Amino acid sequence: MTVIKMANKILRIVLVIVLFLVFFEVGLVSSYTIVTSEVPNFHGLVDMQISKITELFSPETVNDVLVKDPTPLNISNKKEVASKMEELSEVDGINIDSMNITTYEDPGNDNFTVNIEALGYESPNSTSGQIVISQTPSYKVIAKGNATYKNHLLYVDANTLKINSVLKLY
């Protein structure tokens, strides 16, 4: 009799957790649809959630964040990185002057990970035969990549860039 009661309690707990996850995912998909007015890429949203959770609980990341602030860096191949970020994030332009490159790792290492934030632009609006070009950024693009020193200059390998998020600015 007590085994059945214990099994019922465990089953209820598991059911509550599953229902919470289902409602969370439904809310995420519906809010994404409302905010972006686009059909959500469900597989991409789940992948993003999993990668963020694994990053959050990664021992290296937790130790690095708790120990120090990010170190700002200057890279020598900003144009190459900007064009690769533009291609991967599918925006129409990246503002090189707004690029912010930081790392939590020791920049003295041969190879280390950098976080890159930059403002992105969408295509010019065409209304009634006129093209209106706006200098106001439309997106904030956040990426991650590997950096190395070559001839005493810091380079980010554009082939290692991975877009973490593209945020629409309002």
Residues 94-115: tens digit of each pLDDT: 888 889 998 888 777 888 889 9
CA proximity to 111, closest of 150, 160, 74, 148: 148
* pLDDT computed for residue 130 by the predictor: 54
Q: Who has greater pLDDT, 55 or 133?
A: 55
Burial class (CB in 10 A: 0-12, 13-18, 19+), 155: middle
Query: Which tokens go with 7?
Result: 């099994």
Other beta carbons within 10 Å of 154: 18
Residue 19 predicted with pLDDT over 90: yes
* pLDDT computed for residue 18 by the predictor: 94
Q: How confident is the model at residue 138 (pLDDT cuts 50, 70, 90)?
A: confident
**pTM recorded for the entire structure:** 0.59
Distance CA 148, CA 133 (A): 37
CA proximity to 137, closest of 105, 97, 169: 169
CB crowding 73-96: b at 16 or more within 10 Å, else e: bebebbeebbebbbeebebebbee
Residue ranges of the alpha helices (H) in 2-68? 2-36, 42-56, 59-67
Q: Is 122 helix (H, G, I), strand (E, B) or coil?
A: coil
